[in-house]
Amino acid sequence: MAAALDWALAGLLGLPMPVVVAMSVALTGLVVWASYLAFRLALTAERSLLEDA
C-alpha cells in the first residue's frame, strides 16, 4: 500500500523515487513523534488530575 502511494506521488509530483520515499519516511516519523507527544501530554494531564483529587 505504501509503495503504491509512493509511486503515485512520484508520478504526480514528477520527483525521483528516492526523494518521494525520503519524504514518506520523514512524514511517518513526524506522525509517530506527534503521537508520542500527545500520549505524554495525556499522561501528564491524567497524573495532574489524580494529584489534585
The domains of the chain are located at 2-52
Q: With CA atoms as reference, report the closest residue to 17 among 2, 36, 28.
A: 2
pLDDT grade, residue 53 (50/70/90)?
A: low
| Cα distance between residue 48 and residue 28, in whole Å | 30
More confident residue, 5 or 2: 5
pLDDT digits (tens, 9 = 90+) for 18-50: 999 999 999 999 999 999 999 999 999 999 888
Position 17 scores a pLDDT of: 92
What nine digits make up the cell of 51? 494529584
* pLDDT for 29: 97
